[in-house]
A and B are shown apart, each in its own frame.
Chain A
Amino acid sequence: MSVQAGAPTTLRHKSANAAARRRIDQAMRVVLAACLLVAVIPLALIVLVTLQQGLSTLSLEFLTTTQPLSYRAFGGGFLHGLVGTALMVGIAVLISVPMGIAASVFLVEYRANRLARPVRFFTDVMTGVPSIFVGLFVYAALVREAGIGFGTLVGGVALSILMLPIVVRSAEEILKLVPADLRSASTALGARRWQTTLFVVLPAAAPGLLTGVMLAVARGAGETAPLILTAFGTSYLVTDLFGRAQTALPLLIFEQARQPFEAAQGRAWAGALELVALVLLLTIAARLIATRGGYQR
């Protein structure tokens, strides 16, 4: 700072470099605002280009049929991917949500436990584990060792491991916001700890918990890399839980985008539009629920 000892200290006095400092200040304000613009322009470009390219292929047919046999052929759609994504994310929710919420109950209601600190720390670390590594692990454990084979169940397990830390951390934040008075009141009425947790704390936190789950689903639905190693990909509609390779929207987008044919790339764009719409709807709905009811961050 350029206020030196010995300089005149009256408020009226304008120091000699005031004009220069003012100019630097104004210039930096412009620079910082420009930074934001640099971030927002790509977002706008992604949304606009995906809309423009995707809308020309997206149709009722695209949503209700599977891909044609040849990459070169126009028409067809990603119904098999949508079904695969729904099944695998469904399995992932069934595994990660009960487990994640139970773990967050542990972190908040039993925070005195010696395990609480390491669990919290390593949950955070787990959010940083590369998703491709989770895919490798699930492949090594379930496909190679246990011999279950590529498919829906294995893909779902991989997604559940990726979603688990997100569910735990968001649920923990929400449970912390439930007022202690509510717990005391419940205890005063003679409720046991498990009753207080299940019938008072969790219902009070329900909207916030739902928000966290939806954000985790949005994350899981967009994952590609781990599914290459666990679901493997297929061009057919598969509803079996195991025994057959499965595919997902992101996998199909990846596969078709790499083809040098206009028809395949068109399908990739339409699939991208479908996926982005899905993810953004979930995200926005999650925000709305969070701001409307219950305790929020």
Chain B
Amino acid sequence: MLTADQSARPPIGGRGRGRFADVAFRWLVTAAGAAVLLILALMIGTTTVEAWPVFVKEGLGFLTSTDWRPGPSRTEITGSYGGAAFLWGTAVSSLIAIIIAVPLAIGIALFLTQLAPGWLRRPASYAVDLLAMIPSVVIGLWALLFFVPVVIYPVMELLAGTIGQVIPLFAGPPTVRSLFAAGIVLALMIMPIITALLREIFDTVPADERYAAFAVGATRWEVMRHVILPRSRPGIIGASMLGLGRALGETIAVLMVVGGSPSIVIELFRPAQTIAGQIASGFAEASPEGISGLIALGVALFGLTILINVAARAIVWRLGETRGDAAL
């Protein structure tokens, strides 16, 4: 610690060697900050270079064709790389997740910020946060061996037997490992993240506006419905998009329950495959050019998540700037 009687210290603005220390320190921490940008740039650069031959050969077919047959070559691209089936699996499972998780997260965040009694608020928020801390592979194991076969499969059978007769989306016969199961598991995984963001967003609604609504006789629900929700709409959109970004990139838990068969199916109760799942499961046996194909899939996935993330961050950030820093 510093004490006042360190008489050996040179005076402020002195010409001792110490005057360079501040400059060096500033450079050091600036370099650390810039390193973040550098890593991100390197990530984009390296992977794009590796994947470039695949993009060149396939062109737009990379996104529209379902023909995925990697070749055995070490040096050139001989197979065909159509990633549409994986893109489909990722999009549909994430969409199911968002449709389920967002309303649920809004409900939980409203309950925790507006209704919950004081004694419940902290432990309940903590429990929801804890769900986000459980490693993805553990959720995958639990879903694969317990949750999907025991809880979700009967629901799928029920749906297939009733509305599945009319709507092809829910047509049977269901398989345990399916797009639907993957969507539910994803919903479970992104719900705590969205809830945490929404809690902070709902908390930033000015108390004046809530009290004003109460003063004209609004019930608790009416305050939520007509004051808090409209006020928070950009925040809800931002938080949902951040959740969507997570869902798109989630790998291991989804891989364990999605079934691993790349095909574009309308039926949600059939197996499919996601981009991230294909990268993880195809990697160990892939040929050198096959790995380039997987890296190309990774670049596509990265582009998608970055797009969604930047847009979401921009929305959430603007909120943070107009309403103090609490919105993040």
* A residues at B contact (CB < 8 Å): 1-3, 21-22, 24-25, 28-29, 31-36, 38-40, 42-43, 45-46, 49-50, 53, 99-100, 102-103, 105-107, 109-110, 113, 115-116, 118-119, 121-126, 128-134, 136-137, 140-141, 144-145, 161, 164-165, 168, 186, 189-195, 197, 199-200, 218-219, 221-225, 228-229, 232, 250, 253-254, 257-258, 265, 268-269, 272, 275-276, 279-280, 283, 287
Contacts and interface: CB of A to CB of B under 8 A. Distances in A.
B207 interface: no
Where chain A touches its partner, the secondary structure class is helix
B25 A222 contact: no
Contact of B128 (A31, A39, A115, A133): A39
Interface of B: 1-4, 6, 9, 11-12, 18, 21-22, 24-26, 28-37, 39-40, 42-43, 46-47, 50, 104, 107-108, 110-112, 115-116, 124, 126-128, 130-131, 133-142, 144-147, 188, 191-192, 195, 213, 216-222, 224, 226, 242, 245-246, 248-252, 256, 276, 279-280, 283-284, 291, 294-295, 298, 301-302, 305-306, 309-310, 313, 317, 328
Where chain B touches its partner, the secondary structure class is helix
A225 B252 contact: yes
A203 B80 CA distance: 57
Nearest to A21: B219
A123 B36 CA distance: 7
Given A40-B127, A140-B295, A229-B283, A122 B36 contact: yes
Nearest to B302: A133
A189 B309 contact: no
B170 to A, nearest CB: 21
Contacts of A131: 249, 251
A128 B305 contact: yes
B30 A140 contact: no
8 contacts: A49-B146, A115-B37, A128-B313, A132-B251, A140-B50, A222-B136, A224-B137, A257-B141
